[in-house]
């Protein structure tokens, strides 16, 4: 059996090696390392794929979130509503810009921002809402956007884990995740469903004025070369990363289909086991399974992780400490937030390997190993 990886990037690369190697060699031959033609090609292709007017590539997903908040002219002390159950970057950029993170609990099934709790958290100082499409499942965007319109508060979608997913509204219309809020952000970190071979990110919007401002901020605040209208940053997608993304983007739906097949196999393998809650799939969310995350009931998550490691099965905990309990947010009143669902989930979740290259024997070995642990260690 091929060694099991959380994400097997090497085997994925080998399937596209001739195209990638040729495209990278062309960049090296042309020496157009910054803003080469492949960057614009990718930008245009991603705009078409997402059905969004503007895609602005940048250096990474964290920069994408920071630039999005800068483009909204948020001021120190403004409140930004976001989940605590997420990768730290979502909340980190809020604090970096001297804004106030307002942590809100998540839905216990979807792990995404609970719209009811969002509504309760709004104050006159609330200036943005940042839902996270965690693990590849959509947040409840219809009620979130209703709250946005009601209170005139912009929504920044953190779509780092769910590119290619979509959300179906009650009227039957469907939109790609990242293209629903006023701004969407994503990451092309190598392990993402659409990943490059280094760092990369992008920002999406249908607002022409916002797009112009985002482009300016991402390029040192320049309106024209050497004319700097606002304080900006230096954040761009380099040409070598763009050529990889140009090759992978047409394969994204195929990659997602492969991930969903792995999730189907896990779901079937764990069906009827009382100690396991498999990932929920809401009818209006097309889950793209960036992670396959179990909730354990009556079994020790950390012991399972160790048991699997002994059998050379990697398993990860995303995330063991929620943002509101991190030391970095002590001065922002993190410990004052009462988030029982978040605290419960962080003690129970464990993510199993899932990627585009998984074999049937690998899957069966993982499923059998989890079952073996539960048979030996159930409380």
Alpha carbons within 13 A on the beta-carbon side of 258: 17
Tokens representing 319 are 């995330």
Q: Which residue has the tokens 């976001």?
A: 82
Separation of alpha carbons 337 and 97, rounded Å: 21
Separation of alpha carbons 110 and 282, rounded Å: 8
Active site residue 192: yes
* Category of 81 on φ-ψ map: left (φ > 0), alpha (ψ -120 to 50) or beta: beta
Order of strands, edge to edge, in the sheet holding 166-168? 174-176, 166-168, 285-286
Closest CA to 342 of 90, 86, 105: 105
- Is the peptide bond prior to 259 cis by the omega test (within 30 degrees of 0)? no
Q: Which residue has the tokens 């069966």?
A: 364
Q: Which residue has the tokens 């009382």?
A: 274
Of the residues 120, 150, 176, 192, which is catalytic?
192
Tokens representing 223 are 């309106």
Q: How far from 344 is each of 127, 264, 308, CA to CA, in Å?
A: 29, 25, 22
User: Is 362 within 8 Å of 4 (Cβ atoms)?
Assistant: yes
Closest CA to 46 of 237, 208, 288, 235: 237
* Category of 190 on φ-ψ map: left (φ > 0), alpha (ψ -120 to 50) or beta: alpha
**Is 161 buried (19+), middle (13-18) or exposed (0-12) by CB count in 10 A?**
buried
Which residues are known catalytic residues?
192
């Amino acid at each position: 059996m091929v060694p099991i990886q959380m994400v097997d990037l090497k085997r994925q690369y080998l399937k596209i090696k001739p195209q990638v190697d040729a495209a990278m060699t062309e960049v090296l031959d042309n020496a157009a390392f910054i803003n080469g033609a492949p960057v614009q090609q990718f930008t245009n292709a991603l705009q078409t794929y997402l059905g969004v007017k503007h895609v602005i590539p940048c250096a990474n997903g964290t920069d994408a979130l920071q630039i999005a908040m800068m483009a909204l002219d948020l001021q120190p002390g403004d409140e930004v509503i976001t989940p605590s159950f997420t990768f730290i970057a979502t909340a980190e950029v809020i604090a970096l810009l001297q804004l106030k993170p307002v942590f809100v609990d998540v839905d216990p099934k979807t792990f995404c921002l609970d719209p009811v709790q969002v509504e309760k958290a709004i104050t006159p100082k609330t200036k943005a809402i940042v839902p996270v499409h965690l693990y590849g499942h959509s947040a409840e965007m219809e009620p979130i956007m209703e709250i946005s319109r009601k209170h005139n508060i912009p929504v920044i979608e953190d779509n780092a884990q769910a590119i290619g997913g979509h959300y179906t509204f009650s009227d039957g219309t469907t939109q790609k995740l990242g293209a629903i809020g006023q701004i969407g952000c994503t990451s092309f970190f190598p392990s993402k469903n659409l990943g490059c071979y280094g760092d990369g990110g992008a920002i999406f919007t249908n607002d022409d004025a916002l797009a112009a401002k985002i482009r300016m901020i991402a390029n040192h605040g320049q309106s024209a070369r050497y004319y700097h209208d606002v304080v900006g940053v230096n954040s761009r997608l380099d040409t070598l990363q763009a050529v990889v993304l140009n090759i992978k983007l047409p394969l994204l739906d195929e990659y997602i289909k492969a991930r969903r097949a792995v999730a189907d196999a896990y779901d079937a393998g764990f069906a009827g086991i009382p100690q396991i809650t498999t990932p929920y799939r809401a009818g209006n969310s097309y889950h793209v399974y960036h992670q396959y995350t179990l909730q354990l009931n009556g079994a020790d998550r950390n012991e399972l992780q160790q048991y699997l490691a002994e059998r050379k099965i990697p398993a990860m905990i995303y995330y063991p400490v929620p943002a509101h309990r991190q030391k970095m947010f002590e001065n922002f009143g993190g410990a004052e937030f009462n988030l029982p669902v978040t605290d419960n989930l962080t003690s129970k979740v464990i993510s199993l390997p899932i990627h585009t290259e998984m074999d049937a024997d690998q899957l069966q070995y993982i499923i059998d190993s989890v079952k073996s642990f539960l048979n030996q260690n159930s409380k």
